[in-house]
Amino acid sequence: MSAVTRERIPARSPRLRVPYTAPLVTIRRIPEDFRVEELVSGEFRASLLPEWAPSNPFAAYMLEKVSLATPDALGFIARDMRVPRAAVSAAGIKDRHALTSQMITVDSAALRGRTPRFLEGDNWRLQRLGFVPRAADASAIAANRFTLVVRGLDRRQSDEMVRRASLLATRDSQADCDTTLLFVNYFGDQRFGSSRHGQGWVGRALIEGDFEGALRLAIGTPARKDSGPTRALTRALATHWGDWNAALAEFGRMPERAAIETLARGGSFKDAFTALPRFTQDICVEAYQSHLWNAIVRELADALADTIAQSAFTADDNFGPMIFPRASAVTPAFRALGIPMPSPRAIMPECLTEIASGVLTDEGVEFSKLHIPGLARPYFGGGDRPFIAEARHCSISAPEPDSFAGGGPANLACTVAFELPRGAYATVLLRALGQ
């Protein structure tokens, strides 16, 4: 962005500020504590027809689910509708440990004229909205509305949330009840599930052409939070790595099984990795790409706070500290700044050239090397991500006794509500608020 110049950003900080360690509060005591409502765009609503037409061949449904990941829900829906999984599309991925509502579409050609108005299964329910011209994708999302209950607070912690919110609020919103908070648009740790084991990045191994290492990190390295089929898979492979038939005998039918069956037939590790579900392959690359983006943005946020002589809020996180300058440090130019995702074609703004170069040098990679040898997909895609996210219509309730903790001055609960643009993370905003 031309208004953001190199002179306004100092050289890379030799050491980032010490992270703030969030208090031990509870965010998801029950799924109803974390509510997410997907708000579809006006264009999508305008395209809805009440009945099927050749111009509108996709049935649109509102999906409500609880304690269920979106990809899993789509698989159950495809099974119960007796259609191929590829016929069911979602505009976005919503949290597993939450109560959520979102829009999905089903290709009516696969339904063969059967378009039920209602359908439900364990932990999910569908209601038909109408028919639309194309399958659901991210462009159909206008925003996401969150209503979160934060438990286990004491009075000091609840007051700190309010104090931080006031310092993250834009000047134009501080005087009215429609508060907008500005915070650095980091990727949240949900993005990094493929590195949940803490042993390394699958995407980093892929860049080096280490397909065995990539596969082992992706599905053969146990993590503490593994459960169900994933736990059986990772532990079987960790125990029997190299003895593929023995591993196959210890876990059941699941999409990742095709990769190990490929190895059991004598296929290469590259062949095995490409036999993983497409979503798994893509998220492994996107996780590492997002890690690099966060590292670049972290240094920009740190430098911005120092340049404007403003103290910043800091928060510790499993995948690197987060630094949040106050709203008074975020000029209109930085508020509008888009930062490219690291890719072979990325062209960084002038203010980020030195920072980005330093981050990639520390990682031992270069922009031109962000590709996987011998594979066209998955790949490091381009595009800009906003440096700053805006949390609109933000409110924080007065603290009340937490019924789950028996009440008392050290057991309070607050409800935090806000709207975020697609791609922004509620958990990152909570980090900015000190939780």
DSSP letter for each residue of 290-343: HHHHHHHHHHHHHHHHHHTT--EEEE--TTS-EEEE-GGG--HHHHT-EEEPSS
What are the residue ranges in the chain where pLDDT is below 50? 1-8, 10-22, 175
pLDDT in tens, 268-311: 999 999 999 998 999 999 999 999 999 999 999 988 877 665 67
For residue 78, with 0-12 CB atoms within 10 Å meaning exposed, 13-18 middle and 19 or more buried, which class applies?
A: middle
pLDDT in tens, 381-422: 989 999 999 999 999 999 999 877 666 667 899 999 999 999
Task: Report residue 21 as tokens.
Answer: 């360690």
Distance between CA 404 and CA 399 in Å, rounded?
14
Structure-token match 């996709």, residue found: 58
Per-residue b/e over 116-127, b at no fewer than 16 CB within 10 Å?
eeebeeeebebe
Q: Looking at residue 128, what is its pLDDT?
A: 96
Per-residue b/e over 250-286, b at no fewer than 16 CB within 10 Å?
ebeeebbbebbebbeeebebbebbbbbeeebbbbbbb
The answer to whether domain 6-27+143-185+283-432 has CATH 3.30.2350 is yes
- Supply φ then ψ for residue 49, to 5 degrees: -115, 145
Task: Report residue 54 as tokens.
Answer: 């050749």
- Please give the radius of gyration of the chain, using alpha carbons only, rounded to the nearest integer: 23
Q: Looking at residue 1, what is its pLDDT?
A: 36
Q: Looking at residue 180, what is its pLDDT?
A: 93
Please tell me the total number of residues recorded for the chain in this structure: 435
pLDDT in tens, 50-80: 999 999 999 999 999 999 989 889 999 999 9
Per-residue b/e over 374-391, b at no fewer than 16 CB within 10 Å?
ebeebebeeeebbbbbbb
Distance between CA 104 and CA 136 in Å, rounded?
6
Could you tell me the residue ranges of all domains in the chain? Answer: 6-27+143-185+283-432, 57-132, 198-276
Q: Are 272 and 211 in contact (CB under 8 A)?
A: yes
Q: Looking at residue 394, what is its pLDDT?
A: 94
For the whole model, what pTM was predicted?
0.87
What CATH code would you report for 57-132? 3.30.70.3160
